[in-house]
A and B are shown apart, each in its own frame.
Chain A
């Protein structure tokens, strides 16, 4: 057994006789960073484990809130505008009114009549 191990070791020594491990320092720097640069590099390459479900969900919620807020903003500007773009003049009873004003007034009269 020993002889066998011995022979393997000899063979390995023989085959790797030409190789020299010269980057021990690098490895040490990575495993035990000392300088700021080393620490930064270490941080840069740090692997994070992100739980997909909670993070994804919270992002989705944030996006939804922002989008809703934006849409609400434009919605405010457009609502009276949208009505206005259809605003028309009508002639009624010899007068010229804005159609929506007139229809509102007629509706108000009808409502009053029914009450």
Chain B
């Protein structure tokens, strides 16, 4: 088949094809590339950022270019450090933003700086320009270039009007305050207050919060509290009006309301402590190899805030500079915890060795230095990589840590919906240890629960615990210095081949499941118990069956919370102690049992044995429980001595209420007891309404002074304490004096 075609038609065809190609190359392809770049960036693909940068640079028009910068650079980078990191680490908490991105979508400063500058200094006066300016100001601040930041803010203020200019002015005031010129900052804050925002209701709240900090710095905490109260009342009025206009509007609190409420609480406490000046907290974030950590997020978080994730409204957040330094000025006195914000590459292979109850107590006019040192994770040696252990002993070993006085070893077992970890060995000195397998088998973890047909029941996997040859266990180790401070740990972020190291998993196949174990795993707990008892009856040296009997009774007691289960458990616990006189978990259970029963002589005996088993170092919780037992027996002098020791070692001071009660019962003055309450504040950030003991003691003192009969009040107080010690609900109910009643009620919740 042939086709006849004229040359001119052939030419025309070729020309049209070429035109189409050109159109594709210069119009369609860039659009496709752009959308692909945006998609790659948004899904966090490798090279996504580079692609998007190229797309911005080759944008078809200035408008498009600005749109891209606005949408993907200013929009994604938050003005607040609280949204700029992959991982937030604080005392006892690691919050991963959990983004499934290989290459973080967060722009590095090197990448975004030129674009932010371009956007911030040119063209339209839109809200994103303010975003760009604020991000730049944060950068200038971390570079120590306050002047540049101020100049940029002032310049931008002039091209804006209204509320937006005021927002910028507030940022300027904050920057001035951070630079140390509190007077100028106050002048700006007062100007802002004099001309309230027209539309942005949040802004006036933010101004009030900022000014309150400055006022505390001037020793005017009372004035600060009044202005916060005024603002809160005004906001509530405004919300009520809004609700009338829009009845469908639900009840909610704005972010600024939350911030002000938290601030209010801090101010009330500061006033109780007769605060006269604010404080400075500064420090350096470094790695232990000396490398300063530049542009790490640092958050000084008030006690009230640490139970939730970091919000933009929290007042003390900043970035470290190139030397890793940070500084917070005008900090209202109170209790704080230091959190870090880190990118994956900053934490990979390293850990911030902070402990659950690391608190920073900021006092009047303090200038505190809080340095942070990140440490490399401990490399484990063995067991690892799913090794199957079959010997009668298990060897754990890891790379030694410089300066470590002792290590604590933890085992982890998989249970339904997660894992649970238990200390296997506390305070071991060397970097390797050989344990008889039964130590691991008899590590008594907590009980876990599972849902079976909508009913909650004990998970048998947790009961069998570390004696299960089919489970894939893992372990980790923590290193402590002589003072009991955590140096580093083996568990953390391991995100590349170099940091991954050996996998801390192993199987323990020294024993096989018995018939009783099989019954237990099938959930037939009672039958299993009978089998274990039978096996133990046949062989009194059968440690496993004995351990499982105790475990099953313990599980049922914890589920039903009934003492009679414990009664049945006791003889077995005692036999366990006979077999292994140093078994501190069994001794503690016995002590606890007799303490609950108020069998004081057995309580004393088992506590003594427990202390001995622990090398003379009871854990602070056990010691506080023992001190409480002494208090209930009216052995108050002994009790206060034990309490005092325990307080020093338990930074949460969870039993301080009992300590104070014992001191009062022993006849100590309110002034002395109040000092103790101040020295050992109870830290329970995750509980709502944890008592402020100092306040309660202060109220007792006022109540007593009001009656003018110190002796009479002292007798009433002693009677009330007696009622609490005997847990006499009726007598407590009959307490008429409000401060005393409040104190007694608070004491009943100490545990």
Contacts and interface: CB of A to CB of B under 8 A. Distances in A.
Interface of A: 43-53, 77, 80-82, 84-89, 92-98, 101-102, 105-106, 109-110, 113
Interface in B47-78: 47-48
Contacts of A51: 1-3
Given A94-B421, A96-B492, A105-B500, A53 B1 contact: yes
A47 B5 contact: yes
B602 interface: no
Contacts of B490: 94
Most buried by B among A51, A85, A109: A85
A87 B386 contact: no
Given A46-B7, A94-B412, A52 B494 contact: no
Given A48-B6, A106-B386, A92 B474 contact: yes
Contacts of A52: 1-3
Contact of A84 (B3, B45, B412, B504): B45
Contacts of B98: 89
Interface of B: 1-8, 10, 40, 43-48, 96, 98, 100-103, 385-386, 410, 412, 419, 421, 474-476, 490-497, 500, 503-505
10 contacts: A45-B8, A47-B4, A52-B1, A81-B47, A84-B44, A87-B102, A93-B476, A94-B491, A101-B500, A109-B503
Nearest to B412: A94
6 pairs of A and B residues whose beta carbons are closest in the complex: A94-B491, A93-B474, A84-B102, A81-B45, A85-B43, A88-B100
A48 B3 CA distance: 8
Nearest to A98: B495
B504 A94 contact: yes
A86 B495 CA distance: 15
Given A47-B6, A87-B101, A93 B1 contact: no
A49 B6 CA distance: 9
Contacts of A89: 96, 98, 100
Contact of A50 (B5, B385, B412): B5
Contacts of B96: 89, 96
A84 B105 CA distance: 13
B10 A48 contact: yes
Nearest to B472: A93
Contacts of A87: 44, 100-102
A40 B43 CA distance: 57
Nearest to B97: A89
Contacts of B494: 95-97
Most buried by A among B6, B102, B421, B504: B102
Contacts of A94: 410, 412, 419, 421, 474, 476, 490-491, 504
B55 to A, nearest CB: 14
A43 B7 contact: yes
A30 B674 CA distance: 120
Nearest to A49: B2
A40 B421 CA distance: 90
B45 A85 contact: yes
A50 B45 contact: no
A55 B8 CA distance: 18
Contacts of B419: 94
A48 B493 contact: no
Contact of B386 (A88, A102, A113): A113
B47 A50 contact: no
B46 A48 contact: no
B385 A109 contact: yes
Nearest to B504: A93
A45 B505 CA distance: 82
B4 to A, nearest CB: 5
B505 A93 contact: yes
B504 A45 contact: no
B395 to A, nearest CB: 18
Contacts of A102: 500, 503
Most buried by B among A43, A95, A102, A113: A95
Nearest to B7: A46
Given A44-B7, A49-B3, A94-B491, 6 more contacts: A82-B45, A85-B43, A93-B505, A94-B419, A94-B474, A97-B500
Most buried by B among A48, A53, A110: A48
A106 B4 contact: no
Contacts of A101: 495-497, 500
Contact of A86 (B7, B100, B410, B504): B100
Contact of B4 (A45, A48, A82, A85): A48
B1 A84 contact: no
B85 to A, nearest CB: 14
B46 A80 contact: yes
A88 B474 CA distance: 21
A47 B10 CA distance: 10
A31 to B, nearest CB: 17
A80 B43 CA distance: 13
Given A44-B8, A97-B500, A50 B102 contact: no
A81 B5 contact: no
A77 B36 CA distance: 11
Contacts of A48: 4-7, 10
B582 to A, nearest CB: 28
A96 B2 CA distance: 68
B412 A93 contact: yes
Nearest to B495: A98
Contacts of B4: 47-50
A45 B500 contact: no
B495 A96 contact: yes
A81 B713 CA distance: 76
B430 to A, nearest CB: 21
